[in-house]
């Protein structure tokens, strides 16, 4: 198989495993070439540390795109994660116009919120900007909080909803404009996983693993990187969901005993051999 090339656009948090320091390793382990456009550089991520630095890299984005377009580079997938501002959201639409083709995959993780609230630093109008990025995507994978914020509906809590409710939210997400919507962090009883809806075929798919009673920072980025890698490698949706859920659950299991890790991030590195074996 020809090596697939992915460009991922998200911040680099220098310490605290998330965004680029997670995506690069996972995409590489899946034998996909990982190109990057860093959106900002922070000394740590914003979830659980204080006093972090934040250097906005918006100014570099258009010159990078201009150079790449002049060189004629192309990508099998465009994967966006944490974006630092409304302006960066608008630039993603420009990027999709310039580098999106009918064959490549535009994958948007609207990483901006969890547990019913926006991450530090985002204003309440940010979800409406992110909604426009999602509308232009092929595949989006919000968690329940992000989905509710974009749709303007009440967050139901981590669990306690029905499968019908999830299915309805998935259809509402696709009605924003994307082809496939995936909800992450869906919990039914003792299972946690992801459910997907493909509006082009009117079909649902899902995969659930063990629901572990612990929470770690950056697991959304671990999940999205593995899912994007699986999809660009042409795994069918249900198989791709299994790849990403199993990998994330394994990384959490390995990390569960370490009380420091919730804000430092999961030991996904130790789960990479299994991810590679299951490709
Ligand atoms: O994992 C999401 C994420 C990515 N990047 C930065 C963050 C967060 C979540 O808090 O702060 C900078």
pLDDT, residue 109, reads 98
Instruction: Compute the distance from residue 200 Cα to the ligand 1 centre, in Å.
Output: 31
Instruction: Compute the distance from residue 18 Cα to the ligand 1 centre, in Å.
Output: 6
Mutate to test the pocket of ligand 1, among 111, 114, 142 (most ligand atoms within 8 A of CB): 111
Instruction: Compute the distance from residue 81 Cα to the ligand 1 centre, in Å.
Output: 9
pLDDT, residue 257, reads 82
For residue 13, the ligand 1 atom closest to its alpha carbon is 12
Label residues 168-201 b or e (16+ Cβ within 10 Å = b).
ebbebbbebebbbbbbbbbbbeeebbbbbbbbee
Instruction: Compute the distance from residue 232 Cα to the ligand 1 centre, in Å.
Output: 23
pLDDT, residue 213, reads 87
pLDDT, residue 51, reads 96
Identify which of 246, 251, 241, 122 has the alpha carbon closest to the alpha carbon of residue 183: 241
Q: What pTM was computed for the model?
A: 0.98
Q: Could you give the 3-state DSSP secondary structure of residue 124?
A: coil
- Among protein residues, the one with the nearest Cα to ligand 1's atom 10 is 47
Mutate to test the pocket of ligand 1, among 46, 57, 120, 130 (most ligand atoms within 8 A of CB): 46
User: Torsion angle of alpha carbons 96, 101, 107, 110, nearest 10°?
Assistant: 20
Domains in the chain, ordered, with CATH? Answer: 4-271 (3.40.1190.20)
Q: Residues 190-210: pLDDT tens digits?
A: 999 999 999 999 999 999 999
CB 47 near ligand 1, within 6 Å:
yes
What does the alpha-carbon distance between residue 3 and residue 150 come to, in Å, rounded to a whole number?
A: 35
Averaged pLDDT, groups of 10, the chain, 279 residues long = 95 97 98 98 95 97 98 98 97 98 98 96 97 98 98 96 98 98 97 98 98 92 98 98 98 86 92 95
What does the alpha-carbon distance between residue 143 and residue 110 come to, in Å, rounded to a whole number?
A: 9
pLDDT, residue 254, reads 93
- 176 and 128 Cβ atoms separated by less than 8 Å: no
CB 38 near ligand 1, within 6 Å:
no
């Amino acid at each position: 198989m020809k090596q697939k090339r992915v460009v991922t656009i998200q911040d680099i948090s220098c310490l605290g495993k998330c965004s680029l320091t997670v995506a690069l390793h996972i995409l590489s382990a899946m034998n996909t070439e990982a190109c990057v456009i860093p959106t900002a550089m922070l000394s740590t991520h914003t979830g659980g540390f204080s006093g972090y630095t934040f250097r906005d890299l918006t100014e570099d984005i258009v010159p990078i795109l201009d150079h790449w377009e002049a060189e004629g580079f192309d990508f099998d997938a465009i994967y966006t994660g944490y974006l630092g501002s409304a302006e960066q959201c608008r630039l993603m639409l420009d990027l999709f116009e310039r580098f999106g083709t009918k064959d490549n995959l535009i994958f948007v993780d609207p990483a901006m919120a969890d547990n019913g609230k926006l991450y530090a630093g985002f204003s309440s109008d940010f979800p409406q900007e992110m909604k426009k990025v999602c509308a232009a995507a092929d595949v989006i994978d919000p968690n329940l909080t992000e989905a509710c914020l974009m749709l303007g509906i009440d967050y139901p809590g981590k669990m306690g909803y029905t499968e019908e409710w999830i299915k309805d939210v998935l259809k509402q997400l696709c009605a924003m404009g994307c082809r496939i919507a995936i909800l992450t962090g869906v919990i039914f009883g003792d299972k946690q996983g992801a459910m997907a809806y493909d509006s082009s075929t009117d079909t649902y798919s899902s995969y659930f693993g063990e629901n572990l009673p612990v929470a770690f920072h950056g697991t959304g980025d671990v999940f999205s990187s593995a899912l994007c890698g699986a999809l660009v490698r042409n795994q069918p949706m249900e198989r791709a969901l299994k790849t990403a859920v199993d990998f994330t659950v394994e990384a959490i299991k390995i990390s569960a005993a370490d009380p420091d890790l919730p804000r430092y991030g999961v030991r996904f590195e130790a789960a990479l051999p299994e991810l590679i074996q299951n490709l």
